[in-house]
Structure 1
Amino acid sequence: SFLIEQSLKRQWTALFVLLFIISDAISISLGAMGFGVLLQEYPTLISITKWAGVAFLLWIAYNKIKSSMADDALVLATAHKVLPFKKALLIALAVTWLNPHFYLDTLLLMGNLASQWQQDKWWFVAGAISASVIWFVGVSTLTAKFAHHMQRPRFWRWFNRANAAVLGLVSVQLASL
């Protein structure tokens, strides 16, 4: 959702795409090197991270719902609000590195999958990173291409509600692990 918002605003999109790709590459590579297995030996750390992640995701979902209920002018003002670079960068880092799903997907899941092909695990890592490149470049490119359809308050209202629903579901899923 953050990348889509930044792509619509045309604010530092290429930089954030690169940041997300590099973050995925680092985490996927660490997972392939066995870092995820090391983390599993500290269940308290995983539990703390999990519940902090649930709270973080629910907080973002709450703010998305609150945003979706504002009047049209405020919805558009929020949608077009230019963030200072430092704040946008901190948000980008937070939605990546403070998101427990990021670790579950890239560090643990991808790490476990990579370990199944010991001889070819670096090919697997290269493929996973390539998929990450395609995903982030694709999301930002398609968002920019269809931006003119996304400039209405109604779009933003439903976009925020859909984001809140997805974040709520992900937090429930995370809590059940």
Structure 2
Amino acid sequence: MFWIFLKGFSVSLGLIVAIGAQNAFVLKQGVKRQHVFWLCLVCALSDSILIALGIYGFATIITLYPQALRFAQYFGAAFLLWYAFIHLRQALQTQKIQPLELQSTPALTQSILICLGLTWLNPHVYLDTVVLIGSISAQFSQGKLYFALGAMTASWLFFFSLGYAARLMAPWFQSAKAWRILDVLIAIIMTLIAISLLRIQF
């Protein structure tokens, strides 16, 4: 059964590693060392729930009733564009950016809500994590649990590695220019993802 575990691990890791809205948010918060543990926990738990739903039947429901994703498609795109605008505005601000240790820390609740929005309002999450992983797991009728554990393990390992390894990049972000570049990149990523969401045909 170990190879089924590895199959789930590799499939999940391959999907998560791609740069997306959720990963970009965790990366930035990791660099700023703000609520890293809780945000990684929220991401990993959310992913585990979605993986379980996909493997144990929810993928079939989404396939049969794709209109259920319409709300997430449009609201998610609007949310991503708003988030992109926030980062672009930050990048264009002319005042001197404070060093990391002096930057204000947003409330934990606010950070978690943003993280949940970037996770659960993104239809790509359902198509990749629920539908794709759920479909692949169907070939392991006697080993779904091991496949699920492998996929979830990859998710937990990735998010906590991303969140805590990001702090190693902190020395690079002691200048205003570095923060502006990061904000512009995040704004571009969010905008491209929003556009791709609007192009999905269900």
TM range (shorter): 0.7 to 0.9
| Aligned residue number for residue 6 of structure 1 | 29
Q: Distance in 2 between matches of 1:64 and 1:154?
A: 14
Residue matched to 1:44 = 67
Q: Which residue of structure 1 aligns with residue 157 of structure 2?
A: 134
Distance in 2 separating the partners of 1:117 and 1:172: 35
* Equivalence for 1:176: 199
C-alpha deviations, 1:110-132, integer Å up to 9, x for none? 21222233222222222211211
Quick one: distance in 1 between partners of 2:31 and 2:63?
39
- Checking the alignment, whether the CA contact within 8 Å between 1:76 and 1:156 is kept in structure 2 is no
1:25 is displaced (CA, Å) by 0.6
Distance in 1 (CA, whole Å) between partners of 2:93 and 2:106 is 19
Structure 2 contact 73–121 (Cα < 8 Å) conserved = no
Corresponding letter in the other structure for 1:70: Q
Question: Does structure 1 retain, via aligned residues, the 8 Å contact 2:73–2:198?
Answer: yes
1:15 correspondence with 2:54: no
Q: Distance in 2 between matches of 1:72 and 1:112?
A: 50
| TM superposition shift of 1:169 | 1.8
- After superposition, the Cα gap between the structure-2 partners of 1:12 and 1:39, relative to the gap in structure 1 and judged at 3 Å, is same
Decide which of 25, 30, 55 is 2:78's aligned counterpart: 55
SS of equivalent to 2:93: coil
Q: Secondary structure at the match of 1:169?
A: helix
- Residue 37 of structure 2 is aligned to residue 27 of structure 1: no
The structure with the greater share of residues assigned to helix is 1
Q: Determine the structure 2 residue equivalent to 1:113.
A: 136
Paired residue for 2:112? 89
CA distance in 2: counterparts of 1:120 and 1:67, whole angstroms? 48
Identity %: 31
Q: Give deviations 1:75-104, integer Å, cap 9, x for gaps.
A: 448992311222222222222222322222
Offset, 1:152: 1.7
Name the CA distance, whole Å, in 2 between partners of 1:136 and 1:24: 10
8 Å Cα contact 1:72-1:153 kept in structure 2: no
Residue deviations 1:122-148 (CA, integer Å, cap 9, x gap): 222222112112211211122112212
**TM-score, with length taken from structure 1:** 0.87
Residues of 1 paired with 2:110 and 2:168: CA distance? 26
- Which amino acid letter does the alignment assign opposite residue 103 of structure 1? Y
Give structure 1 stretches of 5+ with no counterpart: none
Q: Aligned pair count?
A: 176
